[in-house]
Amino acid sequence: MENINWSDLSFGYMKTDFNVRSYYKDGAWGDLEISDSEQITMHMASTCLHYGQEAFEGLKAFRGKDGKVRIFRMRENALRLQASCRGIEMIEFPVELFEKAIVEVVKQNERFVPPYESGASLYIRPLIIGTGAQVGVKPSKEYLFVVFVTPVGPYFREGFKPTPYCIIRGYDRAAPYGTGTIKVGGNYAASLVAGNIAHSKGYSAVLYLDAKEKKYIDECGPANFFGIKNNTYITPESSSILPSITNKSLMILAEELGMKVERRPIPVEELETFEETGACGTAAVISPVSRIDDLEENKSYVFSETGEAGPMSLRLYNKLRSIQYGDEEDKWGWVTVLD
Ligand code: PLP
Ligand code: COI
């Protein structure tokens, strides 16, 4: 442990002590099992390997100034995982069992929850896969739920420093009646090519437009999008984006800070009018956007000339973090404090 440099962590995998599992077989989920193995074994005809029956979640635990560990909004992740399961014909994992698994995995790996001062956190990654053998395109009759944890720093290397994003019109990550609103592995596979192009050109991520008309803003690779103008927090309404729990929280915190909140389609041209823009998510927290280049249209929208985040993004970031780390009262019951 002593050789972990907590303040220098990136967003990646580090081996921890235990993971927690449950197997669905013969029509029922089994009791939670604690494992110290990083491996899983499965049938080569498992549906997750052939037909993409896989869904995952991402949430975080934080260590407060008081040394206590806090888990942020885990019930929301439990419910979203159920929605993902319904969306690809997998068996839903019960909410109470999910919460029990999350608490257990964090407790079992408590020594990996970074110290308060580091600004790092423990990333919690639950997933469900179809493990039953099928060759025809059919849902599995057997499933594995597993949750592991890994200590992480910022998702984008620069953390809270604004970074550039790009619009690439030649790729979509999800279709309007497709799987964009759920968190399934296929969406991320579909985003890898455009993501790599963006990275190779020096951008943090792709800002996707709606797949049908290419008129409206969808989301930022692995995070939702927001813009701020005239003391208003504006975030897209779309049938192909993930309902971000961070974004849902920020909408409430924006109101708390005296801002107006609008959730509606955002035409690309409206980018010109925003004072600040950002990406938000569990991994991204708030990652401010410095500039958005619309590659095919040869157009740039600039938000940060100074290299600093805008004032409202900073206030929202501080407010969210202070609730997560327990520096501020948890009015909304978002935080589970471990004993
Ligand atoms: N959008 C996508 C595509 C994501 O993968 C994520 C990450 O979970 C988000 C948005 C942010 O969602 P949340 O705030 O619930 O982590
Ligand atoms: C998250 O924010 O938890 C994500 O899942 C984003 C990414 C790592 C897929």
- Which residues neighbour 203 within 8 Å (Cβ) at sequence distance 6 or greater? 163, 164, 165, 166, 293
Band of residue 1 on the pLDDT scale cut at 50, 70, 90: low
The token pair that represents 331 in the structure block:
């009015």
Average pLDDT over residues 162-187: 97
Q: 257-287 in b/e burial notation, b at 16+ Cβ within 10 A?
A: eebeeeeeebebeebeebebbbbbbbbbbbb
pLDDT of residue 48: 98
Examine the pLDDT at 313 and tell me if it is beyond 80. Answer: yes
Report the mean per-residue pLDDT for the chain.
Answer: 97
The whole-angstrom separation of Cα 285 and Cα 310 is 15
* pLDDT, average across residues 288-292: 97
Give the tens place of pLDDT for each residue, 225-263: 999 999 999 999 999 999 999 999 999 999 999 999 999
Q: Does the pLDDT value for residue 299 go beyond 70?
A: yes
Statement: residue 145 has pLDDT above 70: yes
Tell how far the Cα of 221 is from the centroid of ligand 1, in angstroms: 9
Report the percentage of the chain scoring pLDDT > 90. 95
- Helix H segments across the chain? 47-50, 74-87, 95-108, 185-189, 192-200, 245-256, 311-324
At 33, give phi and psi (nearest 5°): -120, 140
pLDDT of residue 156: 83
* Mutation test residue for ligand 1: of 240, 244, 321, the one with most atoms within 8 Å of CB: 244
- Per DSSP, 266 falls in state -
Cα 316 to ligand 2 centroid, rounded to whole Å? 20
pLDDT above 70 (res 158) = yes
**Considering only CA atoms, which residue is closest to atom 9 of ligand 1?**
223
Average pLDDT, integer, range 59-75: 98
Can you tell me the mean pLDDT for 289-308? 94
Taking the alpha carbons of 154, 160, 164, 166 in that order, is the dihedral positive or negative? positive
How much is the pLDDT for 212? 97
In the predicted model, is pLDDT for residue 220 greater than 60? yes
Q: What's the CA gap between 143 and 128, in Å, rounded?
A: 7
Where does the pLDDT of residue 130 fall: very low under 50, low under 70, confident under 90, or very high at 90 and above?
Answer: very high
pLDDT band at 2 (very low <50, low <70, confident <90, very high): low
